[in-house]
Amino acid sequence: MDFLDKTALEIGGLIRQKELGVVEATRHALERIEETEPQVNAYIQVLEEQALAQAGTVQKRIDSGEALSPLAGVPMGLKDNICTKGIGTTCGSRMLEGFRPPYSATVAKKLEDAGAVLLGKLNMDEFAMGGSTETSWFGPTKNPWNPGHVPGGSSGGGAAAVAVGSAFYALGSDTGGSIRQPCSFCGISGIKPTYGAVSRYGLVAYASSLDQIGPMGRSIQDCAAILSLLEGHDNRDSTSVQRPPLDFSRSFGGDVNGLRIGVPKGYFGDGLDADVKEPILRAAKMLESLGAVVEEFDLPIADYAVPAYYVVACAEASSNLSRYDGVKYGFRSEAGDTLQDVYYNSRSEGFGIEVKRRIMLGSFVLSSGYYDAYYKKGLQVRGLIQQSFQHAFEAYDMILSPNAPTTAYKLGENISDPLKMYLGDIHTVSVNLAGLPAVTVPCGFGKGGLPVGLQLIGRPFDEPTLVRAAHAFQMQTDYHKQHPQLAKGGNAK
């Protein structure tokens, strides 16, 4: 059987039809991990024995006739900032060395109940701070399309694993584009849900008002099926919204007739590479040919999204990361004779440079002399960005844009230039500031055969309409069915 061409839903269907065993599917995924990890480094921890035992348990549940999800028995991976009871959760940082949570995140428990098989914990930028998965304490993940390039971040491990076939789907987290940008760089599909649609309980916080867990898969249908399992109110998360379940029943007919799609002029200016711009505009033309109404419009306040995002996100990060002090759990420096020395040395040795940079920036904007000038103003700009999107959605059903201004860049190319890295988030951070949903699907290739992803942004809790348009696009194209040479057993470039 050619597993590489199967989506997660197709694997789940074969399992339900008794044409494929759960243990067989799991063994295949573990073999792919063994084959590809030396070149990709998508996993921080592989749970081989546990995965096989879990596969056997799920198979028994299926054989007994228990009603499980369409994804029951399908092997998958979790980003390593999603807590798993008794299983190491590091956030890609030395600071959480040896930490084994006493509980599982709500999303992890939901997937377990639905019959998922956990293969392992996926590599990520340290505490989700980065856009390339190069800041991980466990070394960088590499892009399966060209291992000399980054996979994007911070959920780069998940995107690379799905692209190379070492997981059939993955969960990532998105604070400012950390699902969408790596999906774009690695040629897979993903959904950043509306803020509050999916419980954050058990997600190690970076910026609490921005973080959201979401799915990454081969196709947008896979992602919608995963999101259906994850969404819903959770009493343990005060930001979780009580509302009816998302209804994807009308999302897969291939019809976009009459949908109004806005294209922000400012997103297609001089900073966007031509080999990204062209596939995105071709995708817009295709949606238009299928019956959608596509128009350009102005979204000027988005120009202020990047500075507002980094002020708000870093302020929240400095507060959230203050709990890591070398005393309660995780890494503790052996140097120092006083409590203050333990704090200082543990944080100095336990955190990487990007995390330190963002803590310092956040502490600065929250300080008494600069709070009004920076943090308060950042919140005000955030409010204006939300209003700008609300106004746009009075005229349009969704907004079409790139995910990033470039294709995947080379390893080490931008890591020493934080400003350049931050500006790479220009097309994604406004979605998090406004709490909106967005999807990404592959729409072509740029220089060197590296993938390009199309982003669709929607109204709050209107993921079904975004999936409708994305699926219509995927029905007319085969970009989501193409695989890197490394996934086919070829040599890395």
Would 333 be classed as within a structural domain? no
Is residue 348 pLDDT above 70, yes or no?
yes
- Quick one: which of 129, 46, 55, 60 has its CA closest to 88? 46
Please give the average per-residue pLDDT across 289-300, as a whole number: 96
Beta partners for residue 207, in sequence order: none
pLDDT averaged over the chain? 96
What pTM does this model have?
0.97
Beta partners for residue 206, in sequence order: none
Would 363 be classed as within a structural domain? no
Q: Which of 93, 178, 199, 401 is catalytic?
A: 178
Residues 6+ positions from 148 with CB-CB distance below 8 Å? 142, 410, 411, 493
| Cα separation values, 443 from 74, 145, 153, 294, 376, Å | 26, 15, 19, 17, 39
> Could you give the number of structural domains in the chain?
1
Looking at residue 490, what is its pLDDT? 53
Task: Judge whether 70 and 225 are in contact, CB under 8 Å.
Answer: yes
Would 409 be classed as within a structural domain? yes
Query: Residue 167: which CATH number?
Result: 3.90.1300.10
Our separate counts of H helices and E strands in the chain read 15, 11
User: In the annotation, is 249 catalytic?
Assistant: no
Please give the average per-residue pLDDT across 257-271, as a whole number: 95
Confidence tier at 492 by pLDDT (50, 70, 90) = very low
User: In the annotation, is 178 catalytic?
Assistant: yes
Would 72 be classed as within a structural domain? yes
Would 159 be classed as within a structural domain? yes
User: In the annotation, is 154 catalytic?
Assistant: yes
**Higher pLDDT, residue 285 or 492:** 285
Q: Which of 154, 318, 346, 401 is catalytic?
A: 154
Would 389 be classed as within a structural domain? no
**Higher pLDDT, residue 492 or 239:** 239
The C-alpha atoms of residue 198 and residue 214 are separated, in whole angstroms, by 8
Task: Judge whether 430 and 389 are in contact, CB under 8 Å.
Answer: yes
Residues 6+ positions from 340 with CB-CB distance below 8 Å? none
| Rounded percentage of the chain residues whose pLDDT exceeds 90 | 95
235-263 pLDDT, tens digit per residue, is 999 999 999 999 999 999 999 999 999 99
Looking at residue 300, what is its pLDDT? 86
399-435 pLDDT, tens digit per residue, is 999 999 999 999 999 999 998 999 999 999 999 999 9
Is residue 22 pLDDT above 50, yes or no?
yes
Q: Which stretches within 19-145 are classed as H helix?
A: 22-40, 48-63, 106-113
User: In this structure, what token pair is assigned to residue 300?
Assistant: 């000027």
Residue span of the structural domain in which 153 resides? 3-253+404-488
Backbone angles phi, psi at 299, to 5 degrees: -130, 65
